[in-house]
A = this chain, B = another copy of it.
Amino acid sequence: MSENVAIIGVGHSKFGTRKDVNIPELCWESMKPAFETANLEPKDIDFFVVGTAGMWSSEQAVPALIAEYADLAPKGSMRVEAACATGNAAIRVGYTAIKSGLADIVLVLGVEKMQESPNPTIIEMIGRFGSYFWEFENFGLTFPGYYALHGTAYMLRYGATEEDFARVAVKNHYYGAKNPYAQFQKEIDVETVLKSPYVAWPFKLFDCSPITDGSACVILASEEKVKEMGIEEKVWILAQGVGTGTANLSRREDFTSLASARFAAEQAYKIAKIEEPAKEIDGANVHDCFTAPEIIAYEDLRFCKRGEGVELIRNEQTYIGGKIPVNVDGGLKAKGHPIGATGVSQAVEAYKQLLRKADPGRQADVRNGRWLTHNVGGTGHYTYVTIYGLEKR
């Protein structure tokens, strides 16, 4: 058993429309740099976990595919899924495999190849990650609609406007433009967002994260292995919290917050002994599948009080230099959202930020040495919150 577990290697593929590669090739794009940064070879891996939603893909057995392609067989593996929180769920399985003592070195891969699926089909399939039977099948809701219900509830209660939501997209595109792995490397302004076509009021095209192909990879190791290998560049997993929501939105008490996110965050803060998150954490990656949910995440994570998230974005307090930088890799909005890869990509970003390896113009001031990731599946059906640190607990 290992009290502490660290990320010792990371890799990230280019996110976007990746019809140039098949699934194992797309996986290898992030696995190769992960092996290189960890200074390890496939034979050193004890266990590997693949996070992929994948039901739109012809290939179902991704762990076996990469076992063969990257020579990881006969080591054990599994696939993990928690809708759009799949990546962070996969990290949990790697984390507990090491912390329990069953493995010393674990590879965690997140991957999704979504562009192959015809567009109406994929929107339909993603929609099933909401409440299939009631909201999706009976009311025809898909994800823009699910989250628009949250956006409008937030507008009504706290006076947020479509311009406020647009500011989230502007920020995330601003940083996405500086991230060479991002799907959209282009700055936009509030006007661009407001003039884009409506998808589900109040969300327009530029309020929505895109359909993305991509992979991300982290290699985790036990404290003993870190010492034995003399690894200097590593980031520790300080805490993880996880929560589940009801299947039906109608069973939720409130649409301006996600109960599973609050639960997961408080669990993680308790373990990491964090009382004032915005002061003790240097930055965060939150699940901005749409613009409004990023603002709701500020509040669920206690970066500010309920109802004050909109002030954070209005006053540019989640840019670098502000109260707490958020999604300075472009977020799901501009970096892209390959479902299974997103949570792992967030971990890659935590590693880069804490080790001051972020690209020029998007390196945060990491004085506390702590970074948070917040990964939501469905409409709060699953939330995973993980806190990373330069120093062990």
| A interface residue numbers (CB < 8 A to B) | 1, 3, 22, 47-48, 55, 58-61, 63-65, 67-69, 72-83, 89, 92-93, 95-102, 125, 128-133, 137, 240-248, 251, 259-260, 263-264, 267, 377-378, 381-382, 384
State whether B95 touches A83 (Cβ < 8 A).
no
Nearest opposing residue in chain B for A100, CB measure: B99
Chain B residues in 8 Å Cβ range of A240: 102
Pick the contact of A79: B80, B95, B247 (CB < 8 A).
B80
Chain B residues in 8 Å Cβ range of A22: 133
Bound CA–CA A225/B28 (angstroms): 42
Bound CA–CA A3/B100 (angstroms): 8
Number of copies: 2
Nearest opposing residue in chain B for A54, CB measure: B55
Bound CA–CA A227/B68 (angstroms): 44
Pick the contact of A251: B47, B68, B125, B264 (CB < 8 A).
B68
Bound CA–CA A67/B377 (angstroms): 14
State whether B248 touches A68 (Cβ < 8 A).
yes
Quote the shortest CB–CB distance from A75 to chain B (angstroms).
6
Bound CA–CA A80/B93 (angstroms): 10
Nearest opposing residue in chain B for A266, CB measure: B74
State whether A259 touches B73 (Cβ < 8 A).
yes
Chain B residues in 8 Å Cβ range of A61: 83, 128-132, 247, 377-378, 381
Chain B residues in 8 Å Cβ range of A267: 76
Chain B residues in 8 Å Cβ range of A133: 22, 58-59
Chain B residues in 8 Å Cβ range of A59: 128, 132-133
Bound CA–CA A59/B81 (angstroms): 14
24 contacts between A and B (CB under 8 A): A1-B3, A1-B100, A58-B133, A61-B129, A61-B377, A63-B82, A64-B246, A64-B247, A64-B381, A65-B247, A67-B247, A67-B381, A73-B245, A74-B244, A76-B242, A76-B244, A76-B267, A77-B82, A77-B244, A78-B93, A78-B242, A80-B80, A81-B81, A93-B93
Nearest opposing residue in chain B for A5, CB measure: B100
Bound CA–CA A377/B59 (angstroms): 15
Quote the shortest CB–CB distance from A294 to chain B (angstroms).
21
With A78-B89, A96-B100 as known contacts, state yes or no: A73 contacts B132, CB within 8 Å: no
Interface centre among A64, A79, A89, A242 (most CB of B within 10 A): A64
State whether A64 touches B100 (Cβ < 8 A).
no
Chain B residues in 8 Å Cβ range of A378: 61, 64
State whether A74 touches B263 (Cβ < 8 A).
yes
Nearest opposing residue in chain B for A97, CB measure: B96
Chain B residues in 8 Å Cβ range of A77: 82, 242, 244, 382
Chain B residues in 8 Å Cβ range of A93: 78, 80, 93, 96
Pick the contact of A244: B60, B75, B125, B384 (CB < 8 A).
B75
Bound CA–CA A128/B57 (angstroms): 10
State whether B79 touches A82 (Cβ < 8 A).
yes
Chain B residues in 8 Å Cβ range of A242: 47, 76-78
Pick the contact of A76: B75, B79, B80, B243 (CB < 8 A).
B243
State whether B247 touches A72 (Cβ < 8 A).
no
State whether A246 touches B67 (Cβ < 8 A).
yes
Chain B residues in 8 Å Cβ range of A244: 48, 63-64, 67, 72-77
Bound CA–CA A102/B137 (angstroms): 36
Nearest opposing residue in chain B for A243, CB measure: B74
Quote the shortest CB–CB distance from A379 to chain B (angstroms).
10
State whether B99 touches A1 (Cβ < 8 A).
yes
Chain B residues in 8 Å Cβ range of A48: 244
Nearest opposing residue in chain B for A53, CB measure: B60
Quote the shortest CB–CB distance from A221 to chain B (angstroms).
15
